[in-house]
């Protein structure tokens, strides 16, 4: 198994309790750079892998394949952790690494554990409120939309389909004991106030 583990924005006190536990329990821990390495160091040794910051797709692909091969040496029979700054599902190299892992090692399960993302960390550092909603992009056209407090998810999805969205995931009461996850055609008519709807194109 490979776990993409979020380390938060760079402050050692902003690691989650679960992050610390997983770092200690993993058979091996890998990191993409020195900042991540310094955050992990108080809990265990970690191996730094090369994830180049470049637009050279050939180089990126070659590095992803090398990293997948190295991680698979552990993840095939044990638990490997790739510990990343921020959150592994938010503008992260982890998603791309998992695609390569799936091609080369389809038997290895990849999952994530969240960390404090750059967006919530930014709001705290800048002293601004994001409570009115916002759009995040890396200069491209956003391919998904996240909606909070959706009380009528089936109706909401019906309206979003008119805008070209065709993939939906609803998480109700996230990380609570009675959490439920619904996808596309299984969306309920109504849901709890503590719900988040993902709409993808």
Contact criterion met (CB below 8 Å) for 127 and 179: no
Residues 90-144 pLDDT 10s: 888 899 999 999 999 999 999 999 999 989 999 999 999 988 888 888 777 888 9
What's the confidence (pLDDT) of residue 172? Answer: 95
For residues 120, 124, 128, 130, the Cα torsion angle rounded to the nearest 10 degrees is 20
Local confidence band at 84 (pLDDT 50, 70, 90 cut-offs): very high
pLDDT at 171 over 90: yes
- According to the model, what pLDDT value does residue 36 have? 96
**φ and ψ at residue 36, rounded to 5 degrees:** -60, -40
Is 172 strand, coil or helix?
A: strand
In this prediction, residues 83-87 reach a mean pLDDT of 95
Distance between CA atoms of 27 and 11, rounded to whole angstroms?
24
Q: Which of 184, 181, 5, 33 is nearest to 89 (CA)?
A: 5
Tokens for 3? 């776990």
Instruction: For residue 115, count CB atoms less than 10 angstroms from its CB and return exposed for 0-12, middle for 13-18, buried for 19 or more.
Output: buried
For 75, other C-beta atoms within 10 Å of its C-beta total: 26
**Class of residue 191 by CB neighbours under 10 A (exposed 0-12, middle 13-18, buried 19+):** buried
* Both structure tokens of 37: 């390495």
Q: Higher model confidence: residue 142 or residue 179? A: 179
Q: What is the pLDDT of residues 31-64, one digit of tens each?
A: 999 999 999 999 999 999 999 888 888 999 999 9
- What is the structure's pLDDT at 93? 87
* Whether pLDDT at 82 is above 90: yes
Mean pLDDT, the chain, rounded, equals 94
Please name which of 8, 95, 10, 112 lies closest in space to residue 51, comparing C-alpha atoms. Answer: 95
Q: How far apart are the first and last CA of the chain?
A: 29
Q: What is the pLDDT of residue 9?
A: 93
- Joined tokens for residue 49: 């892998």
Four-CA torsion 20, 182, 118, 40, nearest 10 degrees = 20
Spatial separation of the C-alpha atoms in residues 199 and 59, rounded to whole Å: 32
């Amino acid at each position: 198994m490979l776990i993409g583990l979020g380390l938060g924005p760079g402050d050692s006190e902003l690691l989650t309790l679960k992050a610390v536990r997983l770092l200690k329990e993993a058979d091996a821990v890998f990191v993409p750079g020195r900042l991540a390495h310094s955050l992990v160091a108080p809990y265990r040794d970690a191996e730094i892998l090369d994830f180049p910051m470049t637009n050279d797709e050939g180089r990126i692909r070659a590095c992803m394949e090398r990293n997948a091969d190295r991680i698979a040496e552990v993840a095939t029979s044990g638990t490997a952790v790739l510990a990343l700054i921020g959150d592994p599902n938010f503008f992260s190299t982890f998603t791309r690494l998992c695609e390569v892992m799936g091609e080369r090692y389809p038997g290895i399960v990849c999952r994530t554990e969240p960390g404090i993302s750059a967006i919530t960390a930014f709001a705290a550092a800048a002293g601004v409120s994001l409570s009115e909603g916002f759009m995040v992009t890396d200069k491209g056209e956003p391919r998904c939309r996240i909606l909070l407090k959706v009380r009528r998810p089936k109706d909401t999805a019906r309206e979003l389909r008119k805008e070209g969205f065709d993939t939906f995931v609803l998480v109700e009461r996230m990380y609570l004991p009675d959490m439920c996850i619904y996808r596309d055609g299984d969306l309920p008519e109504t849901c709890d106030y503590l719900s988040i709807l993902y709409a993808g194109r």
